[in-house]
Structure 1
Amino acid sequence: MQVIGFCRFSYPAEGGFQVEHGSIRDRMAYLYAPARMEERLRHFECICLPGLKGQTDPDFTFLILVGDSLPDAYLDRLRALLADFPQARIVARPPGPHRQVCQEVINAARDMDTPCLEFRHDDDDAVAVTFVETLRAAARDCTALTAAHRLVGFDWNRGFVARPDAKGLRAEPNVTPYWGVAQAVAVQPRVRQTVMNFGHNKINQFMPTVTFTDPPMFVRGHNDHNDSRQKKHVKAVDLPRLDAAGEAEMRRLFAIDADQIRTVFA
């Protein structure tokens, strides 16, 4: 079964953000601000990509949606980070309606005559190195359910919240359902709706879903430029510093290397 992952990397969509902007030009200025872009690229390199590059089942496509206005300097750095990731494909699009553009990009990469497993992924989050393998196994276990419904959601709700910095990684365990990371949708042939047509925390309102609590399957990145952290009255989260054993667990589960983090964030 085809597996497609989808990531928006600072794409200036019309809608799709919790924080509103007065115009697309204002949104681009916010998204492409140097301090923000530096942080996004660091998180993308150290948190997002290692687990995807290290998947035990490498048979998947990972689409990265960017704006056609993304400055060349950042586009070049993005390409360099993906040079050893053959499953990755950068797709550039002009600004447009968020859900419509995401749907078009995903469906353009699909074989529409066969079923597909689609997962959404933020550029500062991680999935376990076993995620694609585990997702395929879950879909096989639920064959009768996926055959009976146009769309079926899969959600792994156990993982970690983590914040990288120059000293390594702060993180703690977390269980949150429908958080949008380590979440996928099984899509039947010729169904044009995609994982991105639904709010991640509302998919159980539109389709049957199957949830899994074990094993840990995600890292939710925590940083100053999370879209959800731009609103007023959002409190800082005090995460504990990982010791050597915790760093080893992150490396084993997600291929996240604390030594690389210390180097990149120094």
Structure 2
Amino acid sequence: MQVIGLCRFSYPALGGFQITHDSVEDRIAYLYAEERLEERFRLLETVALPCLREQTHQDFDLLIVIGTSLPKHHRDRLYDLTADMPQVQIIAEPPRKQREVMKELLNKARRDPSQPCLQFRHDDDDAFSVDFIERLRQTLSECSGLVQQHKAIAVDFNKGFVAEFGAKGIAASEVHRPYYVAALGMYVQGNCPLTIMNFHHEKILRFMPTITLSDQPMFVRSHNGYNDSGGHKASKPVPVEPLTPAQIGEFEARFAIREAQIKQVFAAS
């Protein structure tokens, strides 16, 4: 079964952000500010991409959506960071309504729309467990009766960490949060045009059956200076503490996040 992931990398969508702007030009200026993009690239390199490289099941596709106006030196850097990942397809789009363009791209990516597929979203500053895709597949195979009866089913791994990353390393707090973007997957029946982008992630349970698993930490949700749902003033702060030696090992084993790399990359001038 085809597995398709979607990652927006500073794509200047019309709508789709909690942080608002007066015009598309203002949004582009905010998204492409050098300081902001530097942080996004550091998180992409050290948090979002390593867990994909080390998935126990490597048969998946990842669409990374960027704006056509992304400056060339940033576009080149993105291509360089993903050059060793055959699953990645970088797609440039002009500013459009977020859900409209993302639904279109996901459906275009289906190699055989008559067959079912699995879908997930992946924020550029988050990570999920290195066995996320394997477990997503396994969970649906274990629920064949449910699969046969419904055109769409969500699978939610709701245990994980909220974390902050910087030159001093990683600070985190374990959380249980239902229906986060990270570690949330969706089954879509063949000949069904629904996508994971048809639904707000926290409201997906209103529209389809959901399967919830809480046995192991399956995601790392980054809080930083520029993310849309954790680092701005409207968000409720989550207290975090520096990782213990055991947690440093857990982050590396489960999420391929290495504290030594975090320190090195974030300490760079």
What TM-score bracket applies, with the shorter chain setting the length?
Answer: over 0.9
- 1:107 paired with 2:107, answer yes
Please list every run of 5 or more consecutive structure 2 residues that lacks an aligned counterpart in the other structure.
none
Tell whether the 8 Å contact from 2:173 to 2:239 is kept in structure 1 after alignment. no
Query: Quick one: structure 1 residues 154 and 188, their matched pair in 2 at CA, closer, same or farther if it must change by over 3 Å?
Result: same
Q: Which residue of 2 aligns with 1:80?
A: 80
Worse overlay, 228-237 or 129-138: 228-237
Aligned-pair identity in percent equals 50
2:135 paired residue number? 134
- Structure 1 equivalent of residue 219 of structure 2: 218
Q: Which runs of 5+ in 1 are unaligned?
A: none
Q: Residues 25-68 of structure 1, C-alpha deviation per residue, up to 9 Å, x if partnerless? A: 11101110111100000000101111111000000001101111
**Structure 1 consecutive aligned stretches of length 4 or more whose deviation exceeds 6 Å:** none
User: 1:186 and 1:90 mapped to 2: Cα distance?
Assistant: 23
When the two structures are superposed, what TM-score results if normalisation uses the length of structure 2? 0.96
Find the counterpart in structure 1 of residue 190 from structure 2. Answer: 189
Q: 2: CA distance between counterparts of 1:235 and 1:99?
A: 26
1:233: Cα distance to partner?
4.6
Between the aligned partners of 1:147 and 1:102, the Cα distance in structure 2 is: 26
Report deviation, 1:107. 0.9
Give the TM-score of the pair, scaled to structure 1.
0.97
How far is the alpha carbon of 1:190 from its aligned partner? 1.6
Secondary structure of the 1:201 match is: helix
Deviation at 1:168, TM superposition (A): 1.1
The answer as to 2:26 corresponding to 1:26 is: yes
Q: Hey, what's the Cα distance between the residues in 1 that align with 2:14 and 2:144?
A: 36
CA distance in 2, matches of 1:101, 1:243: 42
**CA 173–124 in structure 1, closer or farther in 2 if over 3 Å, else same:** same
SS at match of 2:229: helix
* 2:6 counterpart letter in structure 1: F
| Map of 2:122 onto structure 1 | 121
Q: 1:237 Cα shift?
A: 3.4
The residue type equivalent to 1:225 in the other structure is Y
Query: Matched residues in 2 for 1:74 and 1:187: separation?
Result: 34
2:6 — aligned with what?
Answer: 6
How far apart are the structure 2 equivalents of 1:53 and 1:202? Answer: 30
Does the CA contact (< 8 Å) of 2:157 and 2:212 recur in 1? yes
- Write the mapping of 1:141-220 to structure 2, written as runs, cut at 5 A: 141-220=142-221
Is contact 2:164-2:172 (8 Å) kept? yes
Q: Which amino acid aligns with 1:98?
A: Q
Structure 2 letter corresponding to 1:103: K
Q: Name the amino acid aligned to 1:83.
A: A
Question: Partner of 2:221: helix, strand, or coil?
Answer: strand
- Letter of the structure 2 residue corresponding to residue 197 of structure 1: N
Distance 1:160 1:229 in 2: 13
The letter for the 2-side match of 1:68 is T
Contact 1:160/1:171 (8 A) holds in 2: yes
**Separation in 2, partners of 1:37, 1:233:** 21
Using the TM superposition, give the Cα deviation of residue 238 of structure 1 relative to its aligned residue in structure 2, in angstroms: 3.2
AA matched with 1:79: Y
Task: Give the residue type in structure 1 aligned to 2:141.
Answer: R
The one-letter code matched in structure 2 to 1:74 is H
C-alpha change, 1:21 and 1:215, in structure 2 (3 Å) is: same
